[in-house]
Chain A
Amino acid sequence: MREGPTRRAGKLAALALIAIWSGLPILIVVLSSFKPPREILAFPPKLLFSPTFENYRALIVRWPEFFEALQSSLIVTTGATILTVVVTTLAGYVYARVRSRKLAASAFMMIVIRMVPPIVVTLPLFPVVNWLRLNDTHTVLILLYATFFVSLNTWIMKAFIDQIPVELEEAAIIDGAGVWQILRHVIVPLAAQGMIAASTFVLIFSWNEFLFAFIFTTTEAKTAPLILSEMVGAVDGVEWGVLFAAATLQLLPILIFVIAVQKYVIAGMTAGSLKG
């Protein structure tokens, strides 16, 4: 049945509304980062303005640590993403191919762990991390971020690997392939889409995460969200232009990445949904 013009217009209007609702705050942040400081909160708002890089210059001069923190964010995000993807691909493969009561129990445990609010484990962990001398290191954040995403990503990977015919592996076994060869030459290439989808979740989380970074870092491993929080908490008035410039720089890499891999993200979210 063909869609009527009214229905079609209604759908488009709804989509436009959702796009504006979600995109407008981001657009305001990005545009404001190019406004002269006194025009950012002018009333009535100024829609036309001469763009300036003044806020970015001020960010470089007054908050050099922001760029070190961005570097830290990059290290932690990359580390956590790689670790999670490797671990969950292997775990997903096992859950997809092996059936046992112990495995079922461990799967249940993973779901339970996922349900634990991070703050519950975070504070008791502080003295332990301190004792292990892992405080203020990238390692502790990589381990924590990976830990909290192992359960979700394992299930995503299991759903993907479930869709790979077992016959392909059987053929590889007949050709003399071992487990690692099967993983490397059969599973990984076919599950790559799932790996990208799974990595996106942990990547976005790690890039934006605040609580763990706040508790376990001091100077060396401080990530960008902590600096943004400091900017908001200025006691002598927030420098909105500088804050918006920093927020734009913080937003940009993740936005580019998500746009580039969006089809895999959708695939990841719907993985296994058609299985009967």
Chain B
Amino acid sequence: MTGTATKLGLMASALAMTLAAPAIAQDKPENLTIIAHRVHQTVATAEGNDITANWQAENGVGIEWVTLDTGALHERLFRELQLPETTIDIAFFLNTHAVESVTTLLEPLNAHQAANPVEDIEDIFPGLRDAMTFNDELYGIPFRHASSCFHYNARLLEEKGIEPPETMEELIEAARALTFERDDGTKVHGFLINGLGYANTVDLARAWNGDFITLDYEVATTGEGMMNAVQMLRDFYEEGVMPRNWAAIQDEEVNTWMQTGRAAMTTTSCGRNRIYNDPEKSEEAGNIKTVALPVAAAFKDQFDVAPAKVEFWTMVIPANSQNKDLAWDLVRTMASKESTLMAALNGNGPVRASTYDSPEMQEKLAYAADEKAVLLVGRVPLPPFDNAAKASDIFVEELQAAVLGMKPVADAMESVKTRVEPLLPQ
């Protein structure tokens, strides 16, 4: 009888284990899925410097990266967030989409942070954390930033006997002096920025502490800063400092013109320094220097450098994802000090102040101190709100009209104010 009972017991145990096995396996999935831009995967998983490798080995869980272009990524993410459940465990999320209404679709992170905290979270630049905090609840952990710097072709400056500008006024004069015709007949333009976006114009306005829309949702286009910036672009266009096709120039063209020496100076992401000085791609490799954007002389006592634009990506966990605790554990691993430094050495824009102080970082990045200086004073080019895309379209339309001389600068900026104000959150 006892033998029979034992056999039955063993059989029951075996059956129970068989039935329970899938449930146990489900506790830890085979893979976590991350939806991201390819650049995130590249900087996180570079060969020999993979910030996720130890975590994968320790947890026995793989990582599946789904990479998409920026617009496509958010379009896909928002569709996934609407489903009853999603297979996405972690998503990379651009600051421009961080509006309060989206928080209902994301996992609140305060409880996770309390139970299993991200190492020294205070070390992450506060402006980046604050942008993902709504009603005191944190919804994303910053991972990557792209801050604007001032890039100039040192060879051309030296050729013309010009010192690197230290104020905005000097920059304007340098741009004029650097506009000339090369011996082969090619024109060199003293200054060039993207003509189809608003962000780099906001950078210029910040040299006078100006703005497009302030963080408290005031349209500031008629303020001194933006008026000066747009007038400067208008003058540059009229004088030929910027090319005639400026209104069609995109970031990729700016890169090409800097790489071929057809443009002498620009304002764009600090990280572009790498491609401007890449000997495989650039004819001006080694000549392009990157520093913080100079501030206007009148603001020298307020800022060391212009509070240029800072845009950033955060890691979020969808509210409808299935492995939230495990996803959080991976997020905190990827946000640790060590991971931040490793990713920075792989080419990421680090979100921790301490990373810039590390000797490895200072050795690798000639402009590390300048980038840190920008991060300490910089802010997003536009606060997030539902009509942000429409508002930026209006700004670009009026900006182009002003720069091309179709409208007086003051009228165009007044028109932006009138048209954008109704779009702002009330």
> Which residues of A approach B to under 8 Å, CB–CB?
36-38, 41-44, 123, 126-127, 130, 214-215, 218-219, 226, 229-230, 232-239
Q: Which of B68, B146, B260 contacts A42 (CB 8 A)?
A: B260
Question: B260, A43: Cβ atoms under 8 Å?
Answer: yes
Instruction: Provide the bound-state CA to CA distance between A255 and B87, in Å.
Output: 38
Taking CB atoms and an 8 Å cut-off, the chain B residues in 264-294 that contact chain A are 271-272, 274-275, 279-283
Q: Please tell me if the beta carbons of B272 and A234 are within 8 angstroms of each other in the complex.
A: no
Residues of A contacting B59 in the complex (Cβ-Cβ under 8 angstroms): none
Are B37 and A235 in touch, CB under 8 angstroms? yes
Chain A residue at minimum C-beta to C-beta distance from B38: A230
Binding site for A on B (CB under 8 A): 33, 37-39, 64, 66-72, 76, 79, 83, 87, 146, 184, 186, 252, 255-256, 259-260, 262, 271-272, 274-275, 279-283, 347
B70 and A235 contacting across the interface, CB-CB below 8 Å: yes
- Residue of B at shortest CB range from A214? B72
Complex Cα–Cα for A239 and B42 (A): 14
Least CB distance from B229 to A in Å reads 24
Q: Do most interface residues of chain B lie in helix, strand or loop, or is the interface mixed?
A: mixed
> Which residues of A are found within 8 Å of B68, using beta-carbon distances?
226, 230
CA distance A262 to B259 in the complex (A): 42
Query: Are A234 and B280 also in contact (CB < 8 A) when A41-B256, A127-B83, A219-B66 are?
Result: no
Q: Which residues of A contact B252 (CB under 8 A)?
A: 237-238
Cβ-defined partner of B260 (8 Å) among A37, A41, A218: A41
B260, A229: Cβ atoms closer than 8 Å: no
Q: B260 contacts A126, CB within 8 Å?
A: no
B275 CB contact (under 8 Å) in A126, A127, A232, A236? A236
**Cβ contact within 8 Å between B66 and A218:** yes
Among the interface residues B37, B272, B281, B282, which one has the most CB atoms of the partner chain A within 10 A?
B281
Whether the Cβ atoms of A219 and B255 lie closer than 8 Å is no
A43-B262, A232-B69, A238-B252 given; name 12 further pairs at CB < 8 Å. Answer: A37-B280, A38-B281, A43-B186, A44-B184, A214-B72, A219-B64, A230-B67, A233-B37, A236-B271, A236-B272, A237-B252, A237-B275
Alpha-carbon gap, A123 to B66, bound state (A): 20
In contact, A130 and B83 (Cβ under 8 angstroms): yes
Q: Which residues of A contact B83 (CB under 8 A)?
A: 127, 130
Which residues of chain A are within 8 angstroms of B66 by Cβ–Cβ distance? Answer: 218-219
Q: How many angstroms between the C-alpha atoms of A89 and B70 in the bound complex?
A: 42
A-B contact pairs, 11 of them (CB 8 A): A37-B281, A38-B259, A41-B259, A43-B256, A214-B72, A215-B76, A226-B68, A229-B69, A233-B69, A235-B37, A236-B275
Interface centre among B37, B38, B146 (most CB of A within 10 A): B38
Residue pair A235, B283 in contact (C-beta under 8 Å): no
CA distance A239 to B283 in the complex (A): 15
B residues in contact with A229, CB < 8 Å: 69, 72
Q: A235 near B262 (CB under 8 angstroms)?
A: no
Assess the A235–B260 pair: CB atoms within 8 A: no
Of the residues B33, B39, B184, contact of A234 by C-beta under 8 Å? B39
Question: Which residues of B lie under 8 Å from residue A238 when comparing CB positions?
Answer: 252
